Amino acid sequence: MRSLLDAVATTEETSATRCIAFYRVVVQAINNQITAGNVLLFIQALNYIQTSLQILFSEFFSLQEALIFMERLYKFLDSNPTMDLTVSDRNIPNPITSGIVFDNVSFAYPDGRLALDRVSFILKPNQTVALVGENGAGKTTIIKLLARLDDPSGGRILVDGIDLKQLDLAQWRQQIAVVFQDFCHYSLTVGENIALGDLTALEKLDKLKLAAKKVGIADKIDRLEYQYQTLLGKQFDGTELSGGEWQKIAIARDFMREKQVQLLVLDEPTATLDPRSEYEVYSRFSELVTGKTAILVTHRLASVSMCDLIMVLKAGKLIEQGTHRKLLQQQGEYAHLWQMQAQAYQI
Ligand SMILES: Nc1ncnc2c1ncn2[C@@H]1O[C@H](COP(=O)(O)OP(=O)(O)O)[C@@H](O)[C@H]1O
Ligand SMILES: [Mg+2]
């Protein structure tokens, strides 16, 4: 703010100086001390100096802004990994046969609050599993631990009986495809945006088209001016898509590695869609994901009622699990939330 006030003051001072200088030159011209040509030259020089000064000031402010981000970047680059990667070199079981086990897993963020509190469950191969619970229940934290973006503070995650910490991290990340709620909108072409799911397929138009078709965005892409070459996003004057269309592009990234991965996850990338649209996307996704383990995360129960297993989280604890029918019969938290949401959404 101080710099801004200084700049305004500087601008006012510049205008005053300009007026005085201009007045003196005009007086000299009237007294025939200088020629009319000199006056013209003077005015041009004055304008040039003023424009240069303005550019200098605006560049200075941009630089100041950029330096704030550079400070954050350097802080990030200097930070040390919080995970111990010294023993993670064992090959990933492929296919996983007995499943992925969360064994009494707890997790606390650096502020010390428990986001997960002794959570235990089994993800069996080829199942479609739903993770439901209200905002802040700990759903995304489970996905982050599963993708090994962090390690549990307590308990263990086992893949066919082997601790996830012992498995080769790069290999594990190749086995899991996740679309998070805050997925990125890249100012790249449509094709590049989808290929981010598998960069080796950047030039494989057939593969890009298949992924786009699976998520129901292929027709829209065909109608764009340059189809898969169309630049997206406003940043570089590209074509802007609607929120729902961006979501489909992000989900198409998941399908780019469908054949290689063992685990596909949607962590509420559809949260800004209306409940019916989310239901349609999730139903279609679970139909398409065959022979893989799929995890669908949402706070809307209707979107996942077709799943093989539904896990209900509340304040970091896994409080119920079972099929939709079994959980409704239990008359517990799931049944309670279902009734509440049914009234709100008129399911
Ligand atoms: N990066 C973070 N730092 C500190 N607390 C966090 C962070 N991310 C999430 N939390 C907290 O952890 C809890 C669980 O969050 P999250 O797993 O994102 O919930 P959900 O996905 O179910 O909405 C919440 O109380 C949230 O505020
Ligand atoms: Mg979340």
pTM of the model: 0.80
User: What integer pLDDT is reported at residue 149 of this predicted model?
Assistant: 94
Q: Which residue's alpha carbon is at the smallest distance from atom 6 of ligand 1?
A: 109
Q: Residues 309, 295: contact at Cβ < 8 Å?
A: no
- Closest to 285 measured CA to CA, from 259, 299, 261, 264: 264
Look at the domain 100-345 and name its fold.
Rossmann fold (3.40.50)
Give the number of other CB atoms < 10 A from CB of residue 214: 20
Q: How far apart are CA 142 and CA 124, in angstroms?
A: 16
Report residue 295 as tokens.
């995890």
Q: Does residue 343's CB lie within 6 angstroms of at least one atom of ligand 1?
A: no
Show me where the domains of the chain are located.
2-78, 100-345
State the maximum Cα–Cα separation within the chain, in Å, rounded to a whole number: 103
Which ligand neighbours the alpha carbon of 312 most closely? 1
Q: Residues 311, 129: contact at Cβ < 8 Å?
A: yes
pLDDT tens per residue, range 166-195: 999 999 999 999 999 888 899 999 999 999
Mean pLDDT of 213-240: 93
Residue 33 pLDDT more than 70?
yes
Q: Residues 130, 304: contact at Cβ < 8 Å?
A: yes
User: What integer pLDDT is reported at residue 218 of this predicted model?
Assistant: 95
Mean pLDDT of 138-159: 96
Q: Does residue 137's CB lie within 6 angstroms of at least one atom of ligand 1?
A: yes
Q: How far apart are CA 176 and CA 261, in angstroms?
A: 5
Residue 148 pLDDT more than 60?
yes
User: What integer pLDDT is reported at residue 169 of this predicted model?
Assistant: 93
pLDDT tens per residue, range 34-60: 787 888 888 888 888 889 999 999 999
Percent of the chain with pLDDT over 70: 95
User: What integer pLDDT is reported at residue 283 of this predicted model?
Assistant: 85
